[in-house]
């Protein structure tokens, strides 16, 4: 990754730093504060969370003191200049400070992502979007607005979409043809999981039940692979993807066309595997060059016609600070959704009655599921990112996709940005 280590050392020697504003001090955000504490040339002068104790504890766990609370952006900025670390519940303390160059959205809440991103764009702050739920809903319009404003909108390095895109860019640059891009799912799949069923397990893993539920019911995988699709143009082979049970040494045999003995109807797809693949991500590639096939045999890549490129890890929040450095030092992102190729739609987890109000992704009412954007647009399927707070106008059966016509949507910035995106970029 360039000479990023040397560049950060140089910043440290010059008593300078890339200053990051962190919004969201949950498990991921807390990791980021501890990670940056170990690094050169980076600093987090402000941590924002709706739970002030979470923001304070993020610093405490990292061994950082001299922490003050300031909810006013101007007073917070003065405190930062005095060398204090600031905690707040007001996101504008991070997005509007002249001391901050990059803002990380680690909230996981789509509406919050819209508010944070728009304020970052208005106040010329680069955006690192860990909130993939927001990205698959309005990522293309946010990226376009950020570019027009002269700031960079980026996924977070270490998240699976960015890790997959790293392999994809490598393969495309070398001229390989992409058969499949995917990830290993790191939790058992139960599409009807609810937070209450997972409460004990979540407590043991120091996670919120809702976050764990988003992993277990498959929503997170659908969100992540939708993002990959929207960045690369690769598509799901079927609604919801295949998600076969297979191990790493079986990936080549499974993720290939049916006429080659695999499960795919076409090339150029996104999918996932349940087996010993996690925490890795993978690409299945091919080449028509006989010379290169011969050379790949010599490099112990197998006899083809397909070849596995495998990254055996993704370190999530631990890698995220490098994206902040990459943005400021090199002006490059770790990835972004170019346009909606796939939609992440809401599918009922259970029978829902008219009048009920939907909760979050990872909740009790619906799961996220990947579908082609063109199909979703034609069928008027409801994006999962817009579903929170929607009131049902009709009864909906378990496993039925929700549509715009079934719900009354609450007014929100997220909804207005989505409508603008559909009109301008759809």
Phi then psi for 306, rounded to 5 degrees? Answer: -110, 155
395 Rama sector, left if φ>0, alpha if ψ -120 to 50, beta otherwise: beta
Last residue within a domain, chosen from 158, 193, 210: 158
At a CB cut-off of 8 Å and minimum separation 6, what does 58 contact?
Answer: 22, 25, 29, 30, 33, 34, 47, 49
Residues 270, 280: Cα–Cα separation, whole Å:
15
- Cα distance between residue 417 and residue 141, in whole Å: 7
pLDDT per residue as tens digits for the range 275-307: 999 999 999 999 999 999 999 999 999 999 999
Q: Which residues, in sequence order, are CB contacts of 399 under 8 Å at separation 6+?
A: 347, 348
Task: Give a yes or no: residue 332 inside a domain.
Answer: no
Q: Angle formed by the axes of helices 219-232 and 160-173, to 10°?
A: 30
Helix, coil or strand: residue 381: strand
15 and 148: one domain? yes
Which tokens belong to 322? Answer: 């490098």
User: What stretches of 174-300 show up as alpha helix (H) in DSSP?
Assistant: 199-204, 209-216, 219-232, 251-254, 290-298
SS3 80: helix
Q: Same structural domain for residues 154 and 15?
A: yes
- Of 132, 158, 184, which one is at a domain's C-terminal end? 158
Decide: pTM greater than 0.75.
yes
Q: Does the residue 270 lie in any domain?
A: yes
Percent of the chain residues topping a pLDDT of 90: 97
Site of tokens 């699709």: 229
Query: What's the domain count of the chain?
Result: 3
Query: How much is the average pLDDT of 323-336?
Result: 97
Residues 80-100 have a mean pLDDT of 97
Tell me what percent of the chain is helix, strand and coil, each rounded to the nearest 5.
40, 20, 35
- Domain assignment of residue 26, given as a range: 4-158
Average pLDDT for 176-202: 94
pLDDT of 426 = 72
Measured distance CA(5)–CA(423) in Å, rounded: 43
Query: What CATH number has the domain bearing residue 70?
Result: 3.40.50.720
Q: What is the DSSP letter of 349?
A: S
* Mean of pLDDT over the chain: 97
d(CA 41, CA 398) in angstroms, rounded, equals 51
Mark which of 274, 298, 313 sits at the end of a domain. Answer: 313
Q: Say if residue 306 is in the same domain as residue 350.
A: no
Q: Is residue 323 domain-resident?
A: no
Read off the CATH number of the domain in which 412 is found: 3.90.1210.10
Give the C-alpha distances (Å, rounded to integers) separating 421 from 132, 140, 251, 417: 17, 7, 36, 6
Q: Is the pLDDT of residue 387 over 60?
A: yes
What's the pLDDT tens digit per position in 345-386? 999 999 999 999 999 999 999 999 999 999 999 999 999 999
Q: In the prediction, which pLDDT does 1 show?
A: 54
CB 169 within 8 A of CB 162: no
Residue 65 pLDDT grade (very low, low, confident, very high; cuts 50, 70, 90): very high
Q: 31 and 144, same structural domain?
A: yes
Burial 358-389 (b: 16+ CB within 10 A, else e): bbbbbbbbbbbbbbbbeebeeeebbbbbbbbb
CA atoms of 384 and 360, how far apart (whole Å): 9
> Alpha helices, DSSP H only, in 129-217?
132-149, 160-173, 199-204, 209-216
Q: Are residues 143 and 170 in the same domain?
A: no
Residue 412, pLDDT > 60, answer yes
Q: How far is CA 296 from CA 155, 166, 169, 261, 290, in A?
A: 32, 20, 19, 21, 10
Across residues 193-199, what is the average pLDDT?
A: 95
Give pLDDT, residue 187: 79
pLDDT in tens, 97-138: 999 999 999 999 999 999 999 999 999 999 999 999 999 999
Confidence band for 147, pLDDT divided at 50, 70 and 90: very high
Q: Residues 277, 266: contact at Cβ < 8 Å?
A: no
């Amino acid at each position: 990754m360039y000479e990023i280590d040397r560049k950060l050392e140089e910043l440290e020697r010059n008593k300078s730093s890339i200053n990051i504003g962190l919004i969201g001090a949950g498990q991921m955000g807390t990791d980021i504060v501890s990670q940056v504490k170990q690094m050169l040339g980076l600093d987090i002068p402000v941590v924002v969370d709706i739970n002030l104790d979470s923001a304070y504890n993020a610093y405490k766990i990292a061994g950082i003191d001299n922490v003050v609370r300031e909810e006013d952006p101007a007073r917070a900025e003065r405190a930062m200049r005095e060398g204090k670390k600031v905690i707040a519940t007001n996101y504008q303390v991070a997005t509007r400070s002249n001391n901050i160059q990059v803002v990380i959205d680690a909230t996981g809440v789509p509406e919050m992502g819209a508010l944070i991103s728009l304020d970052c764009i208005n106040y010329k702050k680069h955006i690192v979007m860990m909130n993939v739920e927001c990205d698959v809903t309005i990522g293309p319009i946010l990226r376009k607005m950020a570019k027009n404003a002269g700031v960079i909108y980026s996924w977070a390095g270490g998240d699976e979409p960015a890790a997959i895109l790293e392999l994809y860019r490598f393969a495309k640059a070398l001229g390989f043809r992409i058969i499949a891009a995917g990830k290993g799912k790191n939790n058992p799949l139960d599409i009807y999981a609810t937070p209450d069923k997972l409460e004990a397990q979540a407590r043991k893993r120091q996670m919120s039940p809702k976050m764990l539920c988003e992993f277990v019911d498959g929503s997170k995988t659908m969100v992540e692979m939708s993002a990959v699709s929207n960045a690369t143009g690769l598509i799901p082979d079927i609604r919801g993807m295949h998600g076969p049970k297979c191990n790493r040494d079986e990936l080549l045999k499974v993720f290939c066309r049916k006429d080659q003995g695999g499960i795919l109807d076409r090339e150029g797809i996104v999918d996932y595997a349940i087996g010993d693949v996690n925490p890795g991500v993978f690409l299945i590639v091919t080449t028509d060059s006989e010379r290169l096939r011969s050379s790949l045999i010599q490099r112990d890549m197998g006899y083809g016609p397909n070849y596995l490129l495998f990254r055996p890890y993704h370190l999530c929040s631990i890698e995220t600070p490098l994206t902040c450095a990459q943005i400021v030092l090199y002006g490059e992102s770790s990835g972004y959704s170019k346009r909606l190729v796939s939609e992440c739609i809401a599918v009922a987890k259970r029978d829902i009655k008219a009048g009920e109000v939907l909760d979050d992704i990872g909740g009790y009412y619906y799961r996220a599921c990947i579908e082609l954007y063109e199909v979703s647009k034609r069928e008027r399927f409801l994006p999962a990112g817009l579903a929170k707070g929607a009131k049902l106008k009709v009864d909906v059966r378990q496993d039925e996709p929700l549509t715009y016509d079934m719900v009354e949507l609450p007014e929100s910035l997220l909804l207005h940005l989505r409508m603008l995106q559909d009109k301008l970029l759809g």
